[in-house]
């Protein structure tokens, strides 16, 4: 492996599950920093802002600030400002992410863009049908991610990727994805660290979005057997991870070897 300078780290399923720390992951994060590796937490979580995520992680024992986190909502705000400046957006999302969206104008009627976040009770028939109506009128479809499910302390929970597939099929439209595994997201993450793909790695529990997505952009991918990991998903994946570890807690020792 070439000299490592930066690590992009997923949060949910890697460091925590339902915001509770997985064993020894906080210690492992401290060890990485002590070894001189720059870290950025990169997450498709759409239920919290960066500040809220940082607060939850600090409570869980992690020394993390909002500037060390890149979220899919923050990436969506940057994408909209660049490609749809001033657009009126219908946001379908569960959770308060207004601070990360910044100046994005949110509306129900006459939306210029349909913006899909994470699934929850808000994904009811009325709202999805309203999104479908906007798409039929020509509004672009922007999605923060394509995740089909995620793991909580209650088990696997259905996510917005399942609804996104239906909207794309019904409206004959392909969404622009701004979170992982988009090239735009990974480029923004590396840009924040001033790092190059060849000197960076990505650690995640989602073999497609986290690991293989990063590898497609020249970043070393490490899959961990925590969170949403399953042998079946790994066997059915579109490629092979560069490395597979039992837990993020094993990463510092693995890199030293």
Q: Tell me the per-residue pLDDT of 209-224, one tens digit each, with 9 for 90 and over.
A: 999 999 999 999 999 9
Q: Enumerate residues 6+ apart whose C-beta is below 8 A from 20.
A: 60, 153
pLDDT band at 156 (very low <50, low <70, confident <90, very high): confident
Phi and psi of 71, rounded to 5°?
-110, 160
Beta carbons of 41 and 11 less than 8 angstroms apart: yes
Kind of pairing between the strands at 220-224 and 243-245: parallel
Say how many CA atoms lie within 13 Å of 75 toward its Cβ. 31
Peptide bond into 181 cis (omega under 30): yes
- Mean per-residue pLDDT of the chain: 95
Burial class of residue 37 (count of CB atoms within 10 Å of its CB; 0-12, 13-18, 19+): buried
Mean pLDDT along residues 37-54: 95
Contact at 8 Å (CB) between 40 and 193? yes
């Amino acid at each position: 492996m070439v000299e490592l300078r930066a690590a992009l780290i997923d949060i949910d399923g890697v460091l925590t599950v339902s915001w509770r720390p997985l064993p020894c992951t906080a210690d492992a994060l401290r060890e990485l920093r002590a070894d001189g590796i720059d870290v950025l937490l990169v997450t498709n979580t759409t239920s919290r802002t960066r500040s809220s995520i940082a607060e939850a992680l600090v409570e869980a024992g992690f020394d993390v600030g909002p500037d060390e986190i890149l979220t899919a909502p923050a990436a969506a705000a940057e994408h909209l400002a660049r490609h749809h400046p001033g657009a009126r957006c219908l946001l379908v999302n569960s959770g308060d992410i207004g601070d990360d969206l910044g100046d994005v104008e949110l509306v129900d009627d006459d939306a210029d863009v349909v913006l899909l976040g994470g699934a929850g009770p808000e994904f009811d028939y009325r709202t999805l049908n309203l999104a479908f109506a906007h798409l039929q009128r020509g509004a672009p479809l922007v999605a923060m991610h394509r995740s089909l499910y995620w793991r909580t302390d209650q088990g696997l929970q259905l996510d917005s990727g399942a609804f996104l597939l239906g909207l794309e099929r019904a409206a004959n439209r392909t969404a622009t994805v701004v979170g992982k595994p988009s090239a735009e997201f990974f480029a923004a993450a590396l840009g924040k660290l001033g790092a190059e793909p060849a000197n960076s790695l990505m650690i995640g529990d989602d073999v497609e979005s986290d690991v293989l997505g990063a590898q497609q952009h020249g970043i070393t991918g490490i899959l961990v057997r925590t969170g949403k990991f399953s042998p079946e998903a790994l066997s059915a994946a579109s490629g092979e991870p560069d490395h597979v570890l039992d837990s993020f807690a094993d990463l510092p020792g693995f890199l030293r070897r």
